Amino acid sequence: MKKIIMTDLKFLLESKNVEIYICEKSVTLKDVVTERFCSLVLFDKKGKFDHQRLMSFDESALKWCEELFLYYKDRSTQLEKL
């Protein structure tokens, strides 16, 4: 399994337009932001992903989700090599 994951990770790191960041802080959400929509998935009280999604196409929501993404990105370290 470790070999498969390392192979996939190496492939991603060598791919064009891909950046991988490692955040040392506890992240309790999954945030997806594109030019058209944003999506948030939060953890439940037991610390597992609650597969209910908050989704919006509103421009103010897109801006807020992008700011949230940048907040965690700024507190993360980019993985450049294995």
Q: Where are the domains of the chain?
A: 19-79
Burial of 64 (0-12, 13-18, 19+ CB in 10 A): middle
* 79 touches 21 (CB < 8 A): yes
Checking if the pLDDT of 1 tops 60, the result is: no
pTM over 0.95: no
Bridge-based pairing state of the strands 29-33 and 49-56: unpaired
* 30 vs 52: CA distance, rounded Å: 11
List the one residue out of 21, 17, 43, 47 whose CA is nearest residue 30.
43
* 13 vs 10: CA distance, rounded Å: 5
pLDDT in tens, 10-66: 888 888 888 888 888 877 788 888 999 999 888 888 878 777 888 999 999 999 999
